Amino acid sequence: MSDPRAYQSPGDLLAGRAVVVTGATRGLGHAVALACANHGATVVLSGRDSRGLEQIYDEITDSGLPEPAILTLDLDTAGWREFEHAANVIEKQLGRLDGIVHCASHLEKLSSLESQRVEEWQNMLRVNLIAPFTLDQACARLLSNAPDASIVFTSETHASAPTAYWGGYAVSKAALETLAMIQADEWSDHPNRRANIIVPGPIASPLRSRTHPGELHDALPRPEDVTPLYLYLLGPDSRGISGQLFRFQD
């Protein structure tokens, strides 16, 4: 495809598929979850805010879309037992898993390396790196049984262009990109599984509001503007594409 950022997806693109979206209550995760549901997927809404998950659940069901599942999971505190339980719940309720979109992200604050605490690094690494790795590992059997499984990792511009004050956040996202590439390479002999990365760039999101509070967010792309790229990588038209990094903004 010439430009997947402008992908025009059919309405039934993800019909019959089950897709986990982490960070589904806000920002990009919310937009991706709604887009997946609008294109026929049964979405597993994952986040730590039960009330927020119930709200997007209602948004989806009130629109007459496939009934989603709710997976309340705190990525900052969850261990292997919680991730394994999550995979078992998905299997029991849905019987399949065709995709995972990692949208959940955690940034403590912008600050110099000298002022960042080890606990802050641990929190960012747990949410941004260790949780995606562990969720994918827990769901590996379900993904291997899918005819066309896709994992989409969400990275950040400072992962490849690190600058001052982004510290542990940039490091965790750089490591996430490495994780995605390793996974894609290990799956190179398995045509039914693929892993790719999206770098949305500056968008009007809650995280951007924290890092750039004086910015005019109306001038930024909306989270909804990025969803065609996610849909492309989740759907059958991108089958065979793996180990690629897609930048929404050049």
Domain boundaries, the chain: 11-247
Question: Any catalytic annotation for residue 57?
Answer: no
CA angle 67, 194, 34 (to 5 degrees): 25
Cα(239)–Cα(167) distance, integer angstroms:
35
In terms of DSSP bridges, do strands 42-47 and 18-22 run parallel, antiparallel, or are they unpaired? parallel
Counting residues of the chain whose pLDDT is more than 70, the rounded percentage is 98
* Most distant pair of Cα atoms in the chain: their distance: 51
Cα(36)–Cα(65) distance, integer angstroms:
10
> Hunting for tokens 């790795």 — which residue is that?
133
Question: pLDDT digits over 189-246, tens only?
Answer: 999 999 999 999 888 777 777 777 776 777 788 999 999 999 999 999 999 999 999 9
Cα(193)–Cα(185) distance, integer angstroms:
11
Question: pLDDT at position 172, please?
Answer: 98
Among the listed residues 7, 57, 165, 169, the single catalytic one is: 169
Question: pLDDT digits over 134-192, tens only?
Answer: 999 999 999 999 999 999 999 999 999 999 999 999 999 999 999 999 999 999 999 99
> In b/e form, how buried is each residue of 148-175, taking b as 16+ CB within 10 angstroms?
bbbbbbbbbbbbeeeeeebbbbbbbbbb
3-state SS assignment for residue 64: coil
Pick the CATH number of 11-247 from 3.30.365.10, 2.40.30.10, 3.40.50.720, 2.60.40.790: 3.40.50.720
pTM for the structure as a whole: 0.95
Question: pLDDT at position 215, please?
Answer: 66
What are the C-alpha distances in Å from 88 to residues 63, 93, 139, 216, 217? 28, 9, 8, 44, 40
Q: Which helix (H) or strand (E) covers residue 182, if one does?
A: helix 167-186
> 118 near 38, Cβ under 8 Å?
no
Question: pLDDT digits over 73-105, tens only?
Answer: 999 999 999 999 999 999 999 999 999 999 999
